[in-house]
């Protein structure tokens, strides 16, 4: 075909396939499907249709050498380096000018380098149809395939009447970019929609005239670059290229075409087994499974394992035992990625790149890095390498040199030699630890979770019963409720019970906790139904019992929001408080009085006694949120999650609760950043708890923890 040239787009990052796809070597340069890379497979599909000398590749400047290595048959001047990433409208226009400069106006075939095609014969037949259509007029031709499922991750094309210009060519009605699953289902039932494969065919003149009409700024900049390049072959268009608007060809041109325009859409229907290899779910579909449903590539040994995606890049070896329904990916740099098969890898990529998520364990010459997301009982033993994990449970991971072992029985294998670092996720399966980089982000996450919990309670039963602490840690949370979420909730449907109070301080006293809550929460939000603790002279046994009765009559607490004391107290429940304790008067410890002295001025002494909801009362809450900020709370949080479940640390009671969110900033999670190996190397043991907790569930090897780092807590729930 002397009037045809092809452009392969190879400038993407492939971030959803991290760590197989990295910034240094994205997925199109990887051997994901066979012994040929995705880029090489794309070029192979053109064999017999477009010769190498008429094949062009658009790629980011830093990846030009990879194209030369993998496609040596493509001439150097045909590798078009993008100085900056400006999306496909600019890249395609830039390539169209380059093709015209070398071959004049011709048919231009555009292929993406990250797609899977099952039938090359059927693919080339559809491409031939598209080429014939492009030759017939001012057509912008798109190749589509019939959708096999209502996938909301793909774009759709609505076909009109069949056209006489070529077989299986239809009048193009419109593009619909990534509809909802419900709308996609309607498209499939209609029968006249195709998936948009982003395979385009057009005359170079027709593409450039479309850019001139729909994206005139892009066209003028490209035209200027072309003129300069014609005058100087050594021209590097860095400055002008960086001024190109960042917009895709889909949004910038294809979706702008209207009936009556000079340009016209033609949609060609193909049926060649197509998929866009964007994430692990799609990659799994392109791989053949063994008799146990495992899909493997690389040096992989699997036993007692089924329905897993197992990828291992050279020079690593992977041994898997006792797993099901998991992804286990070992990248060429030693990254180990574990997740459920139904997880998206974008969260893992963000988790790994986030400094706030770093879990570092060091001992002697051994070092191990880890990022853990929604993890349930994971053992990680390492002397080199890295680890990410998401939505996984009951795993034992060992990395030694170039060998990776993943097994389904954590903490049961004999320990490694003395000196090995161990980063082990512990805590209860119902406990979520959310680590934010800053206090401000922690407060935002807390506000989001607070509003969601309260809204759900109101929706289900018409009201929400809550109790929340006063103090410095929740200050910004309350500020966000007053401002950002003031209209998000019908606050008149809240019933607010005071959690604790200094004995003898009247609500009119500005230093009382009642005054704090009234001025920062109750009155600004318009909460009219609130119950203060009995205090002063009326604080007798009958009044305290009446407070408990009022709480029971309200239906019990839907949500409790705690801070935590340096000694692990919750509310004013000091160490040695019974887990089944009720609302009562307590003596405050010296450490609590010292910590709270900052709230009292003019030399006024911190009261020595307080009134508080008991641990047993608060334990009955349907959901608990615990907030901690600053280095001073590190030890308390560590003992709460990892320590012995004992009244000596009142917050450790939460290990037995059914629904706990613990939100901490980076300063408060030193126990994560620099784990105490002597503590974390063995499963914590519970002491006998009070009868109120006797029915709670405990894992065989001690508590387990779910960890979510610097993100939307809603996704971790």
Percent of the chain with pLDDT over 90: 42
Q: What is the pLDDT of residues 654-695, one digit of tens each?
A: 888 878 888 888 788 754 433 322 222 222 222 222 222 222
Q: What is the pLDDT of residues 339-378, one digit of tens each?
A: 766 655 555 555 555 533 333 222 222 234 555 544 444 5
Model pTM? Answer: 0.56
The pLDDT value recorded for residue 504 is 80
DSSP states of 372-436: EES-EEEEEEESS-EEEEES-EEEEEEEETTEEEEES-TTTSPP-STT-EEEE--S-TTEEEEEE
Q: Residue 696 — very low, low, confident or very high, per pLDDT cuts 50/70/90? A: very low
The pLDDT value recorded for residue 700 is 35
Rounded distance, CA 250 to CA 89, Å?
8
Q: What is the pLDDT of residues 10-33, one digit of tens each?
A: 988 777 787 778 888 888 998 888
The pLDDT value recorded for residue 678 is 22
Greatest mean pLDDT among 364-373, 550-559, 630-639: 550-559
Q: Residue 261 — very low, low, confident or very high, per pLDDT cuts 50/70/90? A: confident
Catalytic option among 567, 573, 596, 701 = 567
The pLDDT value recorded for residue 359 is 33
| Of residues 394, 450, 409, the one with CA closest to residue 626 | 450
In this structure, the strands spanning 421-424 and 500-502 are unpaired
Cβ 278 vs Cβ 263: under 8 Å:
no
Rounded distance, CA 258 to CA 253, Å?
10
| Of residues 248, 234, 162, the one with CA closest to residue 200 | 248
In this structure, the strands spanning 359-363 and 376-382 are unpaired
The pLDDT value recorded for residue 680 is 24
> Of 244 and 339, which is predicted with more confidence?
244
Lowest mean pLDDT among 118-132, 346-360, 416-430, 473-487: 416-430
Residue 672: how many other CB atoms lie within 10 Å: 27
Percent of the chain with pLDDT over 70: 78
Active site residue 567: yes
Helix (H) or strand (E) holding 39: helix 38-44
Residue 410 reports pLDDT greater than 70: no
Mean pLDDT of 488-511: 89
The pLDDT value recorded for residue 415 is 31
Q: What is the pLDDT of residues 462-492, one digit of tens each?
A: 999 999 998 889 999 999 999 999 999 999 9
Q: What is the pLDDT of residues 52-111, one digit of tens each?
A: 999 999 999 889 999 999 999 999 999 998 888 888 999 999 999 999 999 999 999 999
CA angle 452, 454, 457 (to 5 degrees): 105
The pLDDT value recorded for residue 594 is 72
Reading the block at residue 242, the tokens are 């960086």
Catalytic option among 420, 444, 501, 574 = 574
Reading the block at residue 561, the tokens are 């929001």
Active site residue 574: yes
Residue 635 reports pLDDT greater than 50: yes
């Amino acid at each position: 075909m002397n009037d045809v040239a092809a452009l392969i787009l190879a400038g993407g990052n492939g971030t959803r396939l991290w760590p197989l796809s990295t910034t240094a070597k994205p997925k199109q340069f990887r051997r994901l499907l066979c012994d040929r890379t995705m880029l090489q497979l794309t070029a192979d599909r053109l064999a017999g249709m477009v010769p190498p000398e008429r094949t062009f590749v658009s790629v980011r400047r830093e990846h030009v050498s990879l194209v030369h290595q993998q496609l040596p048959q493509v001439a150097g001047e045909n590798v078009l380096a993008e100085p900056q990433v400006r999306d496909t409208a600019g890249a395609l226009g830039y390539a169209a000018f380059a093709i015209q400069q070398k071959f004049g106006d011709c048919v231009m075939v555009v292929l993406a380098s990250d797609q899977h095609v099952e039938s090359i014969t059927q693919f080339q037949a559809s491409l031939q149809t598209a080429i014939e259509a492009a030759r017939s007029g001012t057509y912008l031709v798109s190749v589509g395939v019939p959708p096999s499922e209502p996938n909301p991750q793909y774009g759709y094309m609505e076909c009109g009447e069949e056209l006489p210009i070529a077989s299986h060519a239809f009048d193009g009605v419109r593009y619909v970019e990534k509809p909802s699953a419900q709308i996609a289902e309607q498209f499939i039932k209609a029968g006249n929609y195709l998936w948009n494969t982003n395979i385009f065919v057009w005359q170079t003149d027709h593409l450039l005239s479309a850019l001139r009409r729909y994206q005139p700024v892009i066209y003028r900049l490209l035209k200027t670059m072309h003129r300069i390049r014609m005058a100087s072959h050594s021209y590097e268009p860095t400055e002008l290229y960086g001024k190109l608007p960042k917009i895709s060809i889909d949004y910038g041109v294809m979706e702008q075409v209207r009936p009556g325009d000079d340009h016209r859409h033609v949609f060609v229907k193909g049926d060649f087994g197509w998929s866009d290899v964007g994430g692990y779910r799609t990659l799994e579909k392109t791989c053949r499974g063994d008799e146990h449903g495992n899909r493997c590539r690389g040096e992989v040994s699997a036993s007692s394992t089924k329905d897993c995606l197992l990828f291992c890049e050279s020079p690593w070896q992977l041994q898997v035992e006792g797993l099901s329904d998991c992804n286990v990916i070992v990248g060429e740099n030693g990254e180990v990625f574990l997740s459920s098969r139904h997880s998206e890898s974008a969260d893992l990529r963000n988790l790994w790149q986030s400094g706030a998520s770093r879990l570092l364990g060091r001992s002697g010459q051994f070092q191990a890095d880890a990022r853990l997301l929604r993890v349930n009982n994971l053992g990680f033993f390492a002397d080199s390498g890295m680890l990410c994990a998401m939505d996984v449970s009951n795993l034992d991971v060992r990395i030694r040199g170039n060998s990776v072992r993943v097994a389904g029985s954590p903490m049961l294998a004999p320990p490694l030699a003395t000196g090995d670092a161990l980063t082990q996720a512990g805590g209860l399966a119902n406990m979520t630890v959310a680590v934010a980089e800053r206090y401000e982000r922690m407060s935002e996450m807390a506000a989001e979770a607070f509003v969601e919990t309260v809204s759900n309670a109101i929706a289900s039963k018409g009201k929400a019963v809550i109790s929340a602490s006063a103090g410095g840690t929740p200050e910004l949370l309350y500020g966000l409720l007053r401002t950002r979420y003031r209209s998000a909730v019908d606050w008149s449907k809240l019933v607010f019970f005071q959690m604790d109070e200094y004995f003898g301080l009247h609500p009119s006293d500005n230093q009382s906790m009642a005054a704090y809550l009234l001025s920062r929460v109750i009155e600004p939000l318009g909460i009219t139904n609130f119950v203060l603790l009995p205090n002063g002279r009326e604080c007798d046994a009958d009044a305290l019992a009446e407070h408990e009765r009022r709480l029971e009559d309200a239906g019990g607490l839907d949500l409790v929001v705690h801070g935590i004391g340096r000694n692990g107290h919750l509310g004013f429940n000091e160490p040695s408080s019974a887990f089944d304790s009720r609302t009562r008067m307590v003596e405050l410890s010296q450490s609590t009085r010292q910590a709270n002295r900052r709230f009292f001025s003019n030399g006024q002494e911190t009261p020595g006694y307080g009134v508080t909801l008991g641990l047993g009362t608060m334990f009955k809450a349907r959901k608990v949120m615990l907030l901690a900020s600053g280095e001073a709370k590190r030890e308390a949080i560590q003992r709460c999650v990892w320590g012995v479940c004992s009244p000596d640390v009142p917050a450790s009671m939460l290990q037995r609760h059914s629904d706990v969110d613990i939100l901490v900033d980076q300063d408060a999670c030193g126990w994560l950043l620099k784990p105490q190996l002597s503590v974390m190397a063995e499963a914590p043991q519970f002491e006998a708890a009070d009868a109120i907790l006797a029915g709670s569930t405990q894992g065989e090897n001690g508590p387990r923890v779910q960890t979510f780092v610097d993100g939307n807590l809603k996704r971790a729930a």
